[in-house]
Amino acid sequence: MSRRFNISFVILIIAVLISSTAFSQGVLNKILDNGPNNKRINIVFLGDGYTSAQQSQFDADALGFLNYLFTIEPFDNYENYYNAYTIFIASNAAGVDHPATGVYKDTYFNGTFDSYGITRLTTIPPNNFDGSYANGMGKVMNLLATHLPDYDMVILLFNDLEYGGSGGSISISSVHSSATEIVAHEVGHSFGNLADEYDYPGGSAREAPNATAQTTRELIRWNHWILPSTPVPTPETSPYFNLIGLFEGAVYNPTGWYRPKYSCKMQSLGVPFCSVCSEQLIKSEYSYLSPLESYSPVNNVITIPANSSQIFEIIPMYPTFNSLDIQWYLDMAPLSGENSETLEMSLNDVNWGNHTISVEVSDNTSLVINDPSNLLMDSFSWNAYFEAADTDNDGFTDDIDNCPEIPNPGQDNADFDALGDLCDPYCCAIAGDANNDYNVNILDVVFLITFKYKGGLEPNCLYEGDANTDTSIDILDIVYLISFKYKGGPPPGCL
């Protein structure tokens, strides 16, 4: 009894230790589930300044940001491409630091406003207040490594109502009602490698998908979006406000650097991403995942028995507003009308033997008009061996048969007859034609006698010499042929 009690007690202690350990290291919660992580882009929200009693508020805040992101083009078309998680970690106090007004809070990531002298600039260490990586970013990285090593996008929410945010390897935002727009802009940086399109100081100029110093039309990286009638550089006048052009003022420089559109979310919050930025964001999505989510058979080398058919199937990704284009191929040639998610193939559709079955899937969204790396397309191929049937019902499958269904005489094992001999294309076309001269006469009798008894050549196709179809060539075949030609006997046969 006492021993059993001790074991139970130990188990209880272990259970308490495990649960308290899990709590101190954060709690993972999936708030958007569209599929396996390796087939999706995984967004993770962290929070600073949420007390242990505020876990549900944190999840609600994260969901609010997430839902907002999916109202913005192009993300609205691709919600199905994402999973989202929260990792909750409690802080001792609610809110974060505001050093400029002497407000300090004991929070898990030591988050703060007023970074580097800018009130709305939100950061965690290392920063100008606390140089220790371990006090901020180090904790973020530890939590990600523990709970979601395959994260793709990190958003840290400050439980603080003052307006503020920042970008970088992770996006940080307060929960101010307008902060959702900051997150969308920061996601443009961290996820799309987009540059700031505004011209006031804030960083270093750089060439980017949406910023350039290039003014030669043909060399502008978004030239494919610029109408021939639009001048470059483009005047900042109303006829051009809604067009893509080359507008001066970008990446912290009022002159010498250019942006694609008069206004864009990478310049001003509250306006949509421009076409150039949208295109780039969609390409970024497809650099994380394939438009072809899964396929079956999973093995790309398969054998299909003669009496059955094979269903090839794919599951494409599903954007919200447009479908994906699907095309199936047989031996690299497109199969007309085969554009659905399944393809059924059997010997009714192909000759026996090896064939390549392949499928191509692509996103035809009008938001991407230039995709030289084919990021929006993917394909898969199967090497399928269709086993041979016995088409002429002679007891031999077509691959060892010697009869006219041979597709490639002299090229493959179809040209071996059932006795294992190499046949010619006419083999068995004329039963009894042992010398293969396309006639059945006394010369075939002579040929067989020479073969059997004088060391002569064997019939080119043994079947043609096997006149009585007993699968051997001997005196009986000679007798059979003489009987046929000269005594009104039955004609030679062929297996």
**Nearest-angstrom CA–CA distance, 122 and 165:** 5
Residue 272 CB, shortest distance to Zn ion, in Å, is 9
For Zn ion, give the closer residue by CB, 257 or 484. Answer: 257
Q: Do 115 and 124 contact (CB within 8 A), yes or no?
A: no
Residue 254 CB, shortest distance to Zn ion, in Å, is 17
Binding of residue 87 to Zn ion (CB under 5 A): no
For Zn ion, give the closer residue by CB, 203 or 395. Answer: 203
What residues between 183 and 212 interact with Zn ion by CB under 5 A?
210
**Nearest-angstrom CA–CA distance, 303 and 325:** 28
* Paired sense of beta strands 353-363 and 27-32, if any: unpaired
For Zn ion, give the closer residue by CB, 91 or 210. Answer: 210
Residue 88 CB, shortest distance to Zn ion, in Å, is 34
For Zn ion, give the closer residue by CB, 264 or 389. Answer: 264
Binding of residue 44 to Zn ion (CB under 5 A): no
C-alpha distance from residue 349 to each of 190, 223, 230, 381, 408 (Å): 49, 46, 53, 17, 18
For Zn ion, give the closer residue by CB, 139 or 189. Answer: 189
Binding of residue 264 to Zn ion (CB under 5 A): yes
**Nearest-angstrom CA–CA distance, 405 and 167:** 68
Q: Give how far the C-alpha of residue 478 lies from the chain's centroid of Cα atoms, to the nearest Å.
A: 67
Residue 30 CB, shortest distance to Zn ion, in Å, is 32
What residues between 268 and 297 interact with Zn ion by CB under 5 A?
274, 277
Q: Could you tell me which of 160, 161, 156, 159 has the C-alpha nearest to residue 172? A: 156
For Zn ion, give the closer residue by CB, 270 or 491. Answer: 270
Please return the burial class of 117, using the count of CB atoms within 10 Å of its CB with bins 0-12, 13-18 and 19+.
exposed
**Nearest-angstrom CA–CA distance, 383 and 48:** 53
What residues between 208 and 247 interact with Zn ion by CB under 5 A?
210
What residues between 413 and 452 interact with Zn ion by CB under 5 A?
none
C-alpha distance from residue 201 to each of 171, 184, 231 (Å): 20, 21, 27
For Zn ion, give the closer residue by CB, 210 or 358. Answer: 210
Binding of residue 266 to Zn ion (CB under 5 A): yes
C-alpha distance from residue 178 to each of 55, 181, 182, 202 (Å): 22, 6, 7, 21
Residue 267 CB, shortest distance to Zn ion, in Å, is 7
For Zn ion, give the closer residue by CB, 281 or 317. Answer: 281
Residue 210 CB, shortest distance to Zn ion, in Å, is 4
Q: Which stretch binds Zn ion (CB under 5 A): 132-140, 265-273, 299-307, 457-465?
A: 265-273
- Applying CB under 5 A, the site for Zn ion has a residue count of 5
Residue 361 CB, shortest distance to Zn ion, in Å, is 28
C-alpha distance from residue 65 to each of 83, 166, 234, 237, 288 (Å): 14, 15, 35, 34, 21
Residue 277 CB, shortest distance to Zn ion, in Å, is 3
Residues that bind Zn ion (CB under 5 A): 210, 264, 266, 274, 277
